[in-house]
Chain A
Amino acid sequence: MTTLNLAVGSSGADTYKGGASFSGTATALNVGKHNSAVYASTMLFTGATVTQGATVNSAVLTFTASTTRSNTTVNTNIAFEDADAATAPTSVAEIDALIAGQTTPVAFDAVGTWTAESEYTSPALASSLQEVIDRAGFTSSSVQAIFADDGSTAASLVLRSWYSYDGDSAKATKLDIDYTAGAAPSGNPAYYYAQL
């Protein structure tokens, strides 16, 4: 098995915080800034049956914009929860803790205009997800993406918003992972070992 096409699959599995506010049931997720409130969102994917230690060839998130937003620059980071089995947060403090302990983030800067109902993809996230898959205790069950403002977005109404599971379950965030299972121990190709 080498490609997983996952999607947020339940209410509460995708959440956001905006300043001191938290929601796990809102119709949309947000990233960026609104006045002085900094927004970050999390998206939990179950069914992540990647074998521990497998090589991630590609990992990409797809968002369906819920609102048209074009206002100025949004600078963000995307990373994953650095955990053997991810769980959705239930408070602002838990999102903050996830950000503090996340895998190496991938910059997603100068995010352009998002038009309602259009799909947008993240930068390549393989390296960040690889850190999770390489954990000795990774359980091949769930991973969680964290999409957060990086602190350099101008303080005004500069958000990007996309469908949550509660907004439209079929338009909730998707995660596509291509991988190859278990690396061989030397330079010989895998099929060489299979023929021994």
Chain B
Amino acid sequence: MRYQVQEVSTEDETGLTYVLVHFWDTLTAAQRGDPPVLVNDFLMQLQDQGTRIVTNEDGWFKRLSDGVFIDPETLEADDQTEWEREAYRVDAPAVVQANIEAYIVRAAARNYSGDHTGDATKPFRIDGVVQPQRESQTFTRRTAEGAAARADVQAVNAGVIHGRDRVVRPIQGGSR
């Protein structure tokens, strides 16, 4: 499916990153302004900064006590060695897109369509069957902060149409 991010902001109450996305089956449908076949919003726990163990080019861990690099494949399952750690900038845009693309896989597998944002005024379907959705969930938003405020994260919300056209496989051995 093709998708376009409509909004990236920070949910006020939880501090999670809110991402609103529209989906189409094809690039053509998206470009000519067709209504999206699916709308969904996400609350993502994005990290701005991560922490990890310092490694060398072979991926060996740097031991805190003496700076020696150790092959992690040689460690016992219950290893308790203390390792040197470093902070690093997380590729948050890649995480946003990976979360959306994982949703596309689930949406295709279960044939989601309609509005999946918890808006009770609009139908959401699974395999064509409208799902009970009585209560609209309300939430508050604010100006993006943390990971959501990063220019590279906001860039995924720059009118770009991501993804691939939906592939409809022909029925094997059949004819119309």
By a beta-carbon cutoff of 8 Å, the part of chain A in contact with chain B is 1-7, 9, 18, 21, 23, 26-28, 30, 34, 39, 47, 49, 51, 55, 57-58, 60, 62, 66-68, 116, 159, 161, 167-171, 176, 178, 180-185, 189-191, 193-195
Q: Nearest-CB distance from A71 to chain B (Å)?
A: 12
* 8 Å CB contact of B72 from A39, A67, A170: A67
By a beta-carbon cutoff of 8 Å, the part of chain B in contact with chain A is 14, 16, 40-45, 47, 50-53, 59, 61, 72-73, 75-80, 83, 90, 95, 99, 102-103, 106, 110, 112, 116-118, 120-124, 126, 130-137, 139
Q: Cα distance A189–B120 when bound, in Å?
A: 9
* 8 Å CB contact of A159 from B77, B124, B135, B137: B77
Q: Cα distance A93–B106 when bound, in Å?
A: 37
Q: Can you show 13 pairs from A to B with CB atoms below 8 A apart?
A: A1-B118, A3-B41, A4-B42, A26-B80, A27-B79, A49-B14, A116-B73, A168-B53, A178-B116, A180-B131, A181-B133, A181-B134, A189-B123
Task: Return chain B residues, CB-CB under 8 Å to A3.
Answer: 40-43, 99, 103, 116
Taking A2-B116, A195-B121 as contacts, is the C-beta distance between A47 and B77 under 8 angstroms?
A: no
Q: Nearest-CB distance from A169 to chain B (Å)?
A: 5
Q: Cα distance A94–B120 when bound, in Å?
A: 41
List the 8 shortest-distance A-B pairs measured between CB atoms, nearest first. A190-B133, A182-B135, A170-B50, A184-B132, A189-B130, A168-B52, A183-B132, A5-B44
Select the residue from B51, B118, B124, B136 with max chain A CB neighbours within 10 A: B118
Contact A67 B73 (CB under 8 A): yes
Taking A27-B53, A167-B52 as contacts, is the C-beta distance between A185 and B134 under 8 angstroms?
A: yes
Select the residue from A6, A47, A185 with max chain B CB neighbours within 10 A: A47
Taking A49-B43, A168-B52, A169-B50 as contacts, is the C-beta distance between A181 and B137 under 8 angstroms?
A: yes
Contact A1 B134 (CB under 8 A): no
Contact A168 B50 (CB under 8 A): yes
Chain A residue at minimum C-beta to C-beta distance from B55: A168
Task: Return chain A residues, CB-CB under 8 Å to B136.
Answer: 181, 194
Contact B132 A176 (CB under 8 A): no
Task: Return chain A residues, CB-CB under 8 Å to B61.
Answer: 27
Q: Cα distance A189–B126 when bound, in Å?
A: 13
Chain A residue at minimum C-beta to C-beta distance from B75: A67
Q: Cα distance A126–B156 when bound, in Å?
A: 29
Taking A1-B41, A1-B118, A190-B132 as contacts, is the C-beta distance between A21 and B78 under 8 angstroms?
A: yes
Contact A2 B117 (CB under 8 A): yes
- Given A1-B43, A47-B14, 6 extra CB contacts under 8 A: A2-B41, A6-B45, A68-B73, A116-B59, A168-B53, A184-B132
Q: Nearest-CB distance from A55 to chain B (Å)?
A: 7
Select the residue from A7, A26, A34, A194 with max chain B CB neighbours within 10 A: A194
Q: Nearest-CB distance from A64 to chain B (Å)?
A: 11
Q: Cα distance A132–B64 when bound, in Å?
A: 41
Q: Nearest-CB distance from B2 to chain A (Å)?
A: 18
Chain B residue at minimum C-beta to C-beta distance from A193: B134
